[in-house]
Amino acid sequence: MVKIEDLKRINLLRDIPDHLLEIISREAQLNIYGKDTQLMTIHEKVDTFFMLIMGQVAIKKELTPRIDIIFDFIQSGSSFGTSALMEGSISSYTAVCQEPCEAITLSGLRIRELFKDNHELAYYMLQGAARQYKKKMDIRAKMIIKTLDENPELKGAVHDIENLTPVA
């Protein structure tokens, strides 16, 4: 069982009413992981949804045995492993603790069961996941625009550049 106060520290859950947070609190577990702990592995089944309370997790993929591509650094208050909400999902990245981490975890199977029984919970959690996804895509679009602004030779080759900018 996890305290509701801890759940309220998670961005994805910020708009969820307390009566729904109580359901999550009964199902969730609080875990502590050491530096370099691998929480998810590429090409393996995703069966856990993670919500980071403390620490930093790198989301990455190996390009070569000596080079990793870092897609994101998950910070406190953020979550990952949303694919656990879909049955049979396989990870497309590896998630590794960059420092000691404290995370709230939920079983993907149990979340799906809860969603079937409580559509309000499903609605709020999926709204939070969509909000988180949109924020990440807006950040990436801004990064692309900045890169293109700094490299005019690339900018000229891009068609429909206005479609890259985030819509308010």
Angstrom CA distances, 39 to 52, 60, 96, 97, 160, stand at: 12, 12, 6, 7, 39
Q: What is the pLDDT along the chain (168 residues), one digit of tens a residue?
A: 899 999 999 999 988 999 999 999 999 999 999 999 999 999 999 999 999 999 999 999 988 888 888 989 999 999 999 999 899 999 999 999 999 999 999 999 999 999 999 999 999 999 998 898 888 888 878 887 888 788 877 766 766 656 555 554
Number of compact structural domains in the chain: 1
Provide the CATH number for the domain around residue 155: 2.60.120.10
The answer to the question of residue 139 being in a domain is: yes
Assigned token pair, 119: 């559509």
In a domain, 167, yes or no: no
Domain that holds residue 123: 4-160
Bridge partners, residue 95, by sequence: 40, 59
Note whether 108 and 75 are within 8 A (CB): no
Contact call for residues 148 and 158 (beta carbons, < 8 A) = yes
pTM over 0.85: no
